[in-house]
Structure 1
Amino acid sequence: MSEAPDRHPALQPRSLGPLDLANRLVVAPMTRVSATPEGVPTSLMADYYAEFASGGFGLVITEGIYPDAAYSQGYLNQPGLVTDEHVAGWRAVTDRVHGEGARIVAQLMHAGALSQGNPHRAETLAPSAVKPLGTMMPAYGGSGPWPVPREADRDDIAEVVDGFVAAARNAVAAGFDGVEVHAANGYLLDQFVTEYTNLRTDEYGGSTANRIRLAAEVVERIAAEVPDGFVVGVRVSQTKVNDVVYRWSGGAEDVVEIAQALAKAGADYIHVASEGRSWFETAQLADGSTVTGLAREVSGLPVIANGGMHDREQAARVLGEGHADLLAIGHVALANPDLPRRLAAGDELAEFDPAMLRPDVTIASSIRWRQAG
């Protein structure tokens, strides 16, 4: 063990809406597809999430959870929050995480046009009938080009919103401390935000204010129907799983429009994702500001930054310069579920094994590798 450094700012306590967190370190949502074929969380998933909590993370955000039994499921063996069995499975997870002293938020995700494993529907749904860029992801069971989705009509949009709200109610019943509405990374709500996937001419298309409307409506409906003290966050991003170079064309103006709309809708926090890129690469704006810092300034909400936040110097800079309030760590947390404790002690981080990202490698194997390390 090396000599412990001065206390890192990421180790300071922080509130997130009504939640008191032990520190500013967050486990980022990471697709694992390790539920049963029916979408029920397993005991191994409870072990997986509890390990981050026992390792000292203040907050854990789950992998993307599908919110309805229609168009939302993105991958086979993805967990859901639709049935009583789903709720019971997640209750076992939340009990374990809370028993280790951490908080846990359920990320609600509608895959939209990027669904490549949905037993409920043969077709996909999107804001417009635009074929997604790239090809399906073999690591998650897909192959070949994406199909052209069906354009959502008003009834579809209403059902999408209702599905998110019902899943949020189920998250309350399952013992979660909050939900994170997934409006990032190229999935359905982000498809509405993105100009080239949203060609609509109604109130959900055209201007940035119109394109963020659906995400804001989902947040507003959930916030109105969950109990006081239940956190409602939202995740946004410029980059996508199938387009890592995309940036909002309006730059800082888009950031302001999006952040203010989500704050007005009742969000408790904004999580800005980087989709496999560094925060420095994806957060910089032409005027010298950052997406995270500007969103924090104009919304008045806590902001979570993502992308290389395991780097001690970058993490200290992001917090110290006011770019964000909390730091979400993804891949490196898989190899270091005790990262907060290592940071406090000044210890080196364990080396990340890319095989840990493979969903065909079980969570049990991933846990054994970390324990052996």
Structure 2
Amino acid sequence: MATLFDPITLGAIEAPNRILMAPLTRGRATQASVPVPMMAEYYAQRASAGLIISEATGISREGLGWPYAPGLWTREQVEGWKPVTDAVHAAGGRIVAQLWHMGRIVHPDFNDGAAPISASATTAPGKTRTYVTGNDKVPYAEARAATHDDIARVLDDYAAATRNAIEAGFDGVQLHAANGYLIDQFLRDGSNMRDDDYGGSIENRARLLRQAIERLVAEAGAGRVSVRFSPNGDTQGVIDSNPEPLFVHIGEWLNTQGIGFVELREPGPEGTFGSTTQPPVSPAFRKAWKGPLVLNQDFTRAQAIETVESGSADAVAFGRPFLANPDLPERLRRDAPLNADEMATWYSRGPEGYTDYPTLEAVNA
């Protein structure tokens, strides 16, 4: 029987434990989306994770609508990531890049006034900040339905970002297909109203996902590719009327691709970002998908241990606990107290609340 603290093979990656660091947006890059030296220290501090999944990283200017988030579409960005991956590897860790296109969540301010693209001409709920508005939030703008030319360009951007990630020293890539962003906007019928070969049936709505996975695999190799989904409930206004057959279909298709692992984000009624009373899809997905399954859903230590030991998942990805606990695997192993994170510094610009959280060893000393 596997435990949370046992090694696991995730495709081409040998992880020393089953405690993954979930992708955590921190907003410390430059306005040109270039990683800064402080990010190397931050990620290296957390290298004891079985695997680090990087913060969501833009594949293009068009697809990135978060201030000071990093990218992987320019030479400067690639060079900025190299010290980060080098530092993680020097500390004995492994790290993959999560590739991000935000779709309708990109405000026009990020793209010289151009409307964002999505599956259909829809508008995300809520408001956002931009470089133009500063601390003032503004409503999202209506997206335009992506044309076939747009889709071809996005797929090229995914391929280029994958090449750049490998050149930058990442051990692989993860396709961000969750949380109401572009791929998710195509997958689910609450945001996809198309009547062409990218809309309507489950097979059609999953077409962009399949094409993106194929492009990532062609560039990195199947064993260095993974994907993240959020299959149940409303996320940033994206929802599906019948998610189980959709994600069972996806799981069965992914078996034919041989990718490294799948991560599911399934918040419960009191989830950190988004919540739902909709039953989880992961049990049905577990039966459909035969490869390693990683769950992420605000787990406690006890819940994570039980999840792996019961076979409900092969590993658990922790998000917020890694913010304030760079040595989280050791703390979980010892059942030691956790540092509390400060929400005020989640997305601030400096080292405070980023690289200054103490390890257990430092606290004991």
TM-score exceeds 0.5: yes
Following superposition, the deviation at residue 299 of structure 1 comes to 1.6
Counterpart for residue 63 of structure 2: 72
- Which of 110, 127, 138 is 1:135 aligned to? 127
Following superposition, the deviation at residue 247 of structure 1 comes to 5.2
- Which of 33, 41, 46 is 1:47 aligned to? 41
Following superposition, the deviation at residue 365 of structure 1 comes to 4.0
The amino acid of 1:355's aligned partner reads A
* Alignment partners' CA distance in 2, 1:342 and 1:249: 40
Structure 1: where are the runs of 5+ without partners?
1-6
- 1:41/1:90 contact within 8 Å kept: yes
- 1:8/1:316 contact within 8 Å kept: no
- 1:283/1:292 contact within 8 Å kept: no
Following superposition, the deviation at residue 173 of structure 1 comes to 0.3
- 2:2/2:308 contact within 8 Å kept: no
- 2:120/2:144 contact within 8 Å kept: yes
Following superposition, the deviation at residue 113 of structure 1 comes to 0.3
- 2:193/2:199 contact within 8 Å kept: yes
- Which of 291, 295, 304 is 2:281 aligned to? 291
Partner deviation per Cα, 1:60-82 (whole Å, 9 max, x = no partner):
0111111123x211212111101
The amino acid of 1:366's aligned partner reads Y
Is residue 354 of structure 2 the alignment partner of residue 366 of structure 1?
A: yes
Counterpart for residue 302 of structure 1: 292
Following superposition, the deviation at residue 333 of structure 1 comes to 1.1
Counterpart for residue 248 of structure 2: 256
Counterpart for residue 156 of structure 1: 150
Q: Runs of at least 4 residues of structure 1 off by over 6 A?
A: none
319-328 vs 234-243, greater mean Cα deviation: 234-243
Count of residues in Structure 1 that have an aligned counterpart in Structure 2: 354
Counterpart for residue 55 of structure 2: 63
Counterpart for residue 327 of structure 1: 316
Partner deviation per Cα, 1:238-257 (whole Å, 9 max, x = no partner):
345524xx653224322211
Q: Map 1:112-127 to 2 at 5 A.
A: 112-116=103-107, 118-119=110-111, 122-127=114-119
**TM, length-normalised to structure 1:** 0.87
User: Does the C-alpha gap of structure 1 residues 225 and 328 become closer, same or farther in structure 2, counting only changes over 3 Å?
Assistant: same
* Alignment partners' CA distance in 2, 1:264 and 1:205: 22
Give percent identity, aligned residues only.
37
Q: Map 1:1-373 to 2 at 5 A.
A: 9-53=3-47, 56-69=48-61, 71-116=62-107, 118-119=110-111, 122-136=114-128, 143-227=137-221, 229=223, 231-237=224-230, 238-239=232-233, 241-243=235-237, 248-274=240-266, 277=271, 285=279, 290-309=280-299, 311-357=300-346, 359-370=347-358
SS of the residue corresponding to residue 216 of structure 1 reads helix
Partner deviation per Cα, 1:268-291 (whole Å, 9 max, x = no partner):
211111368279x76973xxxx52
* Alignment partners' CA distance in 2, 1:300 and 1:283: 27
The amino acid of 1:49's aligned partner reads Y
* Alignment partners' CA distance in 1, 2:138 and 2:222: 45
- 1:296/1:302 contact within 8 Å kept: no
149-158 vs 120-129, greater mean Cα deviation: 120-129
Following superposition, the deviation at residue 50 of structure 1 comes to 0.8
Following superposition, the deviation at residue 260 of structure 1 comes to 1.8
User: Does the C-alpha gap of structure 1 residues 50 and 352 become closer, same or farther in structure 2, counting only changes over 3 Å?
Assistant: same
Structure 2: where are the runs of 5+ without partners?
none
User: Does the C-alpha gap of structure 1 residues 236 and 307 become closer, same or farther in structure 2, counting only changes over 3 Å?
Assistant: same
Following superposition, the deviation at residue 132 of structure 1 comes to 1.4
Counterpart for residue 3 of structure 1: none
- 1:212/1:261 contact within 8 Å kept: no
SS of the residue corresponding to residue 367 of structure 1 reads coil
* Alignment partners' CA distance in 2, 1:42 and 1:251: 39
SS of the residue corresponding to residue 165 of structure 1 reads helix
